[in-house]
Amino acid sequence: LYTAEVKAAYRGPLPSSLPPHLYSVGERARRGVWSCNKDQLILLSGESGSGKTEASRLLLHFLTASPAAESPYSVPLHAAHTVLQAFGNAKTRRNDNASRFAKYLDLELDHRGDAIGGSLTCYLLQKNRVSEQSPGERNFHFFYQLLAGADPHTLKCLRLQRSVDHYSILRASRASAADSADDRTHFADTKHALEVLELDAGEQQAVLCVVAAVLKLSNISFAPVNNIDGTEGCALQSEYELREACSLLQCSPDVLSAALRTRSSTVTPAGGGGGSDVESVATELSAEQASRARDLLCQALYARLFAWIINKINIAIKVEGNGRRKVLGLLDVFGFETLDKNGFSQLLINYTTERLAQVTREVTVQQRQEEYMREGLDWSYIDPCSDLLSLQ
């Protein structure tokens, strides 16, 4: 279905005898860029598991393949796809490789219509998955890839154990043997893709250190402590994990421990006049609050790592020079899902997919109705905006 022959058949003017195909969508968008002199957008929408990300990968292959040979510019674009899947995708109950973020890729096309680079924007990474997953689901793929695929020396440097059972954020989603084999292979692919994206050895090690630090931090636990003044505080129970996480993050254990167990706020003492009298007050957190602070720190670290990787991808796929170029956008979002427990991030995901569905409806339904109106046809009006979450 996606061989080089099929690719060639859908390149150029499309005869009506050709059956519908993903490549014909790609070719019409590519030709539209130059023939209509307008930038184009391919919007991939549908439920989770319906094939959006796979379609975007196939489209990318189609749009980066010149008839003679695979374009050399395509290599970083494909590497970016591999890295994004490792860090931004996870197994859910509906899809073993579900996108947990939305990605918009602006592909720049050369005069022949081949994609030669572009820029990437990612939205709404479901970062709370770092700390908790629903039953039957997994954390982001890269955690498992690292443990299954890294060689013993790398694991030792990162102070990690091979088994997922050692890490509280992975234990619940224990990988099966078959998954481990896949994770091992995918770790090699992700590592190679990071090299293609020109992350040097130090940067690759830094990525691994942040992921390892998240695993270590998530193991830190707190015990409740009753203070003399009657307030509730907490004591760190995993000094060892904290020290290892700090050595990976290159920060002081005392500073991190205090940051997790207390909340700082600034107060102006009664009668104090100017801003110079503002005092910083530290309040002890309960064990439950400190655990929440730990989870938020893990999520923030992972989300910042993801943003940093996007930045590196953008540097690698940026098109140099000032030639005449056009843009073809490729939008691949997370699919609509209704889970047993739907948090705020699920609301945002579903709201986004619904708004995008509205755009599609407007284009396909509203424009068609305007055409009927112009032609004076008799039909029953269909409201393209009906049943939207935003109207409720």
Ligand X SMILES: Nc1ncnc2c1ncn2[C@@H]1O[C@H](COP(=O)(O)OP(=O)(O)OP(=O)(O)O)[C@@H](O)[C@H]1O
The binding site for ATP comprises 46-53
Of 40, 53, 74, 85, the one binding Mg ion (CB under 5 A) is 53
Cβ proximity to ligand X: between 59 and 215 the closer is: 59
Residue 376 and residue 353: Cα distance in Å, rounded? 33
**Which residues contact ligand X (rule: CB under 6 A)?**
46, 48-54, 95-99, 334-335
Q: Is the CB of 52 or the CB of 191 nearer to Mg ion? A: 52
Cross-strand pairs, 114 = none
Q: Could you tell which of ligand X, Mg ion, none binds residue 329, using a CB distance below 5 to 8 A set by kind?
A: none
Say how many residues touch Mg ion, by CB under 5 A: 3
Structure token pair of residue 187:
């770790």
Question: Please, what is the minimum distance in Å from the beta carbon of residue 43 to ligand X?
Answer: 13
Report the partner that residue 50 touches, choosing among Mg ion, ligand X, none (CB closer than 5 to 8 A by kind): ligand X
**Minimal distance, residue 62 CB to ligand X, in Å:** 12
| Residues 6+ away with beta carbon under 8 Å from 349 | 124, 126, 334, 336, 337
Q: Which residue is nearest to ligand X (CB)?
A: 335
- Residue 82 interacts with Mg ion (CB under 5 A): yes or no: no
Phi, psi (deg, nearest 5) at residue 144 = -70, -35
Report how far Cα 259 is from the mean position of its chain's Cα atoms. 27
- Choose the stretch contacting Mg ion; rule: CB under 5 A; options: 15-23, 49-57, 199-207, 210-218: 49-57
**Residue located via tokens 């490792």:** 86
CA distances from 275 to 270, 271, 272, 283 (A): 12, 12, 8, 21
Which CB sits closer to Mg ion, 99 or 218? 99
The annotation places the binding site at 46-53
Distance CA 124, CA 342 (A): 15
From CA 61, how far away is CA 55, in angstroms rounded?
10
Question: Shortest approach of ligand X to residue 48 CB, angstroms?
Answer: 3
Select from 99-107, 246-254, 259-267, 317-325 the region that touches Mg ion (CB under 5 A).
99-107
Give the shortest CB-148-to-ligand X separation in angstroms.
19
- The encoded tokens of residue 207 equal 């990525």
